[in-house]
Structure 1
Amino acid sequence: MPAQSAEDKAAAPTNGHAKAQRTCLGPPPLPNPSTGSANPSASLHSLWGYLEPALDHIMRTPTNNLNKAPAIEVGYHMGVHTAVYNYFTTHSEASPAHGLAGFTRLTSSTQSEKAKASGTDLYDQLDRYYTEVAREIFLGAPTDDSTLIHYLVPCFNRYSAGAQSVSRLLNYVNRHYVKRAVDEDRGWLRLADVLDAVAKTIREDDTREKVQRRLRERRTEELKKWGYREGDPPARLAQIESYAEAASPPDRVVPLAATAYRRFRTEVMDPLLAVPKIKGKGGKKRKPPTNGDKPLMPRGRLARAVKALLESKGGDEEERRRLAADLAIALRTVGIKVDHPLRKKLDKFLPPEDR
């Protein structure tokens, strides 16, 4: 190793300072794993074996910078893109009868295999992966309501940064599979969802263009439920549509970032928002208070935690307001609807232009 120059020694940080610098910057980029002669795009199993270390590094590796996911090296990034591209193109073009000893069987199972090869299998695997990561976060939540939000907000920020990074890494899945699925009416808003409402306004002499315009108007009406206003710029429209995508049922095909947020909702937020059932003795309902007030209804765990946060005495008031605003952003991002009582309560802490 060549000797350091005086300038290099002066510029080089001390060991302690270097360690602090690395901690601040986060873990180093993950290098491209050696695959030997194996072809990562040969099967879903081999492709997933190649992808999973990158996903774990991006989604699970501890880091002090919660707003930026740990990176992977450029070579690994390019390798992932190439492997996913080859997997889609190779398997989509493969003969449906491949592996059936030369027999051609145009059956429902063959059609299923073709659907899997076109991207459904990888999309479903990613959905399961997000489910596992989100469930780990839920299982790690503290039992004390007073510390729940202090745990949940950083966890969501870390998860969100990772989800956005994975979405960029696997953008080919969005462009090749998700876009096609939406075009095939498998997205967050399907024709059947709006057909009844649109059918009531359609007349026999309406042209195809008029019907399509009415469908677009109906889609706009749905987005208004999430905060869209006429004249909003395209960027805000896309952001609002992502909230609706995250709120969709798990059987709807949505972009990968929305898929991740949807699983954070189903595995973390929904259980924390769930209201426990009232158990009365002998099957009798609890009588309301005699002073004319409304009966005290049970709250979900997250609602109790918000109450504890906002009503706590002393401490940093600005920090409490920041946590409330960050939780409001998390709730809407994962698809909790605007009229949910907790969203109404927390949205007040957002800046007026962000509500």
Structure 2
Amino acid sequence: MCKGQVEPAPHASGVGPKSLPNPSTGSANPAASLPALWGYLQPALDHIVRSPTNNLTKAPSIEVSYHMGIHTAVYNYFTAQSDSGGPPATRALPSIPFQHNDRNKPSGTDLYEQLDRYYAEAAEEVFFGAPHDDSSLIHYLLPCFSRYSAGAQSVNRLLNYVNRHYVKRAVDEDKGWLRLADVFDAVAKTIQEDDTRDKIQQRLKERRSEELKRWGYYDDAPADVLAQAEACAEAASPLDRVVPLSSLALRRFRSEVIDPLLAIPKSKNGKKKKPPAPPEKPAVPKGRLARAVKELLEMENEDVDEKRRLAGELAILLRTVGIRIDHPLRKKLDRFLAQGAST
């Protein structure tokens, strides 16, 4: 996808790869089983998410016939599951780590979980391709994230039937990013004996709004601000929460790329390293990304506008993948950007 890429081409817009044609399946039915469906889907996913391209903000396309074929195959697969009461029996393929089917799970669960594993592997490629030099890390991450997120948005549109059929139902069943149990204790404290069901529902709605305000939502905000705040909250959610496919991909970028880069490395005895620091100087940040940010912000020979661009794009990245506003690195970037805006 962008292995080894360190110096980005921020505004490159050259000709990308050609649209991927519809692969021949012969007499095989892509909707017959999960391995069959995945074998049909994966070339499109790899092309959209992983293939090299000069335009990092636009994912490579697939031909219209392939797009329609995927929509039909996914629709037929979900329909077959609904009619039979569960996933059809499948045989794992050697190259795909399919898990055993659970016929008690709602239809679409197996495909959703397979997509989650796919994004985890794609994000791991970004992590393992990161340069060892901290000074190059931010220059590597930003174009990689732009490419990855563009692909994720394209797949989200391609497989929107999964969102409409599986994700929406799961959220309605209280399996989404914010569950009743998450807010029940806080809401329960405000419930009065004479409260009606409508009043309780209103308190739950207010509690949800409070959560979204942590991600940029505000009262009477337009729909796009609400959608963006909810996408950030979804990306910040635990891995067991069901979220739309675009947020699923962003959450995996957080869990497989950003969280490890934020983590403080452990010493050989299993304890976090605490190197001695002179009393007059603060301790050097331990996590790789924190070190990279510190180095960026303290570079004297870096162009000020370029430094602000990199800091601003990284701040957006962290927010988008679900790093909370009170995280020390987000606060550090926000302070730097605020200082620049006031001068």
Q: TM-score range by the shorter chain?
A: 0.7 to 0.9
Match of 1:182 in 2: 171
Deviation (angstroms), 1:277: 4.4
Match of 2:145 in 1: 156
Deviation (angstroms), 1:287: 7.6
- Note if contact 2:149-2:250 (Cα within 8 Å) is conserved in structure 1: yes
Match of 2:77 in 1: 87
Q: How does 1:1-355 map to 2 (within 5 A)?
A: 24-94=14-84, 112-115=102-105, 118-277=107-266, 293=280, 296=283, 298-348=285-335
TM-score normalized by the length of structure 2: 0.86
**Alignment gaps of 5+ in structure 2:** 1-12, 90-100
Deviations 1:57-91 (A, max 9, x none): 00010001000000000110111111101110121
- Note if contact 2:18-2:61 (Cα within 8 Å) is conserved in structure 1: yes
User: Structure 1 pair 256/351, CA: closer, same or farther in 2 (3 Å)?
Assistant: farther
Deviations 1:292-318 (A, max 9, x none): x57525421001111112222324332
Match of 2:4 in 1: none
TM-score normalized by the length of structure 1: 0.83
Deviates more, 1:250-259 or 1:300-309: 300-309
CA distance in 1, matches of 2:145, 2:178: 26
User: Structure 1 pair 142/170, CA: closer, same or farther in 2 (3 Å)?
Assistant: same
CA distance in 2, matches of 1:151, 1:298: 20
Deviations 1:37-63 (A, max 9, x none): 111011111000000000000001000
1 or 2, which has the higher helix percentage? 1
User: Structure 1 pair 61/321, CA: closer, same or farther in 2 (3 Å)?
Assistant: same
The residue type paired with residue 305 of structure 1 is A
**Alignment gaps of 5+ in structure 1:** 1-22, 100-110
**1:113 partner SS:** coil
Kindly, what percent of the aligned residue pairs are identical? 70
CA distance in 2, matches of 1:256, 1:96: 21
The residue type paired with residue 116 of structure 2 is D
**1:115 partner SS:** coil
CA distance in 2, matches of 1:31, 1:65: 20
**2:146 partner SS:** helix
**1:202 partner SS:** coil
Deviation (angstroms), 1:345: 2.0
Deviates more, 1:183-192 or 1:229-238: 229-238
CA distance in 2, matches of 1:112, 1:46: 18
Question: How well do the aligned residues superpose, as a CA RMSD in angstroms?
Answer: 2.6
CA distance in 2, matches of 1:96, 1:287: 58
The residue type paired with residue 214 of structure 2 is K
User: Structure 1 pair 337/120, CA: closer, same or farther in 2 (3 Å)?
Assistant: same
**1:230 partner SS:** coil
User: Structure 1 pair 301/35, CA: closer, same or farther in 2 (3 Å)?
Assistant: same
CA distance in 2, matches of 1:95, 1:171: 22
- Note if contact 2:134-2:292 (Cα within 8 Å) is conserved in structure 1: yes
CA distance in 2, matches of 1:314, 1:33: 51
CA distance in 2, matches of 1:279, 1:75: 54
CA distance in 2, matches of 1:212, 1:276: 44
Aligned pair count?
315
